[in-house]
Amino acid sequence: MRVRLTEIALFLACLPLAALATDGVQIDTPVGGWRKGSDEGAHFMQEVNYPASSVNSAADQANTARIAGQITATPKDASKPARLIVNGISMPLKVQEDGSFDRPFVFPSGSNSVEVRNAEGTAKHRVQFYNRGSGETAAKLRVVLSWDSDNTDLDLHVVTPDGGHIWYGDRSAANGGALDVDVTTGFGPEMFASPTPLSGEYLVYVNYFGGGSSSDEEGVETPEQILTTAQVTVISQEGTANEKQESFIVPMRATGELTMVKRFSYP
């Protein structure tokens, strides 16, 4: 009994610290626990409005296929994004001026975790849940591109075994692979996914499409060359006992640069 009372006392003593850890970050969806997915409103591809786009959910996006909430922990530094960590994959999370965020994400069946941290890393909130799939087409192969500078445009290109080329100019292919969005405003992420990946060799490229710009006293804009570091993560057999994740860091130095990041075979 003495041991149990000690354990309870330690647990109660830690409660204020746990509260502080989540203070300033709120996740509205997904919620923790056991939940059933739905293929209604589980949109993967986002409508892109050029010349600029950031990642956000469609108006009718299902709550079981989105990550939404708000970061109230200030100050917010637009040049430093918040962090989103989904099932161990860390990626930047750009928030709106009011601190809100809302992005689509179709989760695999089984156990999932979502964590959001503010830009300074001083506040975070984590949700663990079990997703019982119900018709949604979760990815078995996913390639995620993100980068570390604002107002820059990097593009993800994936060549599939049948010669298909998925990129911002052609974001879906007959083989089932698709690119979710073309992010032109910095950080990403851009995400290729396939629920029924073809067997064979895949090629992953990153293109430095353009950097930021600055204005002189007369308002004339001139392009700036920004060194940016890309991170590419390849997740294969997602949601299975054979799931494998690999991440690669790629420095991108010059506008127009095209780099082959990874050649791999699936499965």
pLDDT tens readout for residues 203-247? 999 999 987 655 556 655 556 668 999 999 999 988 788 999 999
φ/ψ of 137, rounded to 5, equals -100, 80
Query: CA end-to-end span of the chain, whole Å?
Result: 53
Residue with the two structure tokens 């799939």 = 133
Q: 81-101, pLDDT tens digit by residue?
A: 999 999 999 999 988 888 999
Distance separating alpha carbons of residues 204 and 160, to the nearest angstrom = 9
The residue extents of the domains of the chain are: 22-135, 139-267
Contact 186, 150 (CB under 8 A): yes
Residue with the two structure tokens 């626990």 = 33
Contact 143, 14 (CB under 8 A): no
In the prediction, which pLDDT does 10 show? 42
CB atoms within 10 A of CB 225: 11
In the prediction, which pLDDT does 22 show? 61
DSSP 8-state secondary structure symbol assigned to residue 64: G
Q: 45-77, pLDDT tens digit by residue?
A: 888 888 788 888 888 898 889 999 999 876 556
Geometric angle at alpha carbon 156, from 155 and 160, rounded to 5°: 150
Most distant CA pair in the chain: distance in Å?
A: 77
Contact 241, 187 (CB under 8 A): no
More confident residue, 250 or 42: 250
Distance separating alpha carbons of residues 82 and 125, to the nearest angstrom = 12
Geometric angle at alpha carbon 70, from 69 and 74, rounded to 5°: 160
Distance separating alpha carbons of residues 27 and 19, to the nearest angstrom = 14
Give the fold, CATH level 3, of 22-135: Immunoglobulin-like (2.60.40)
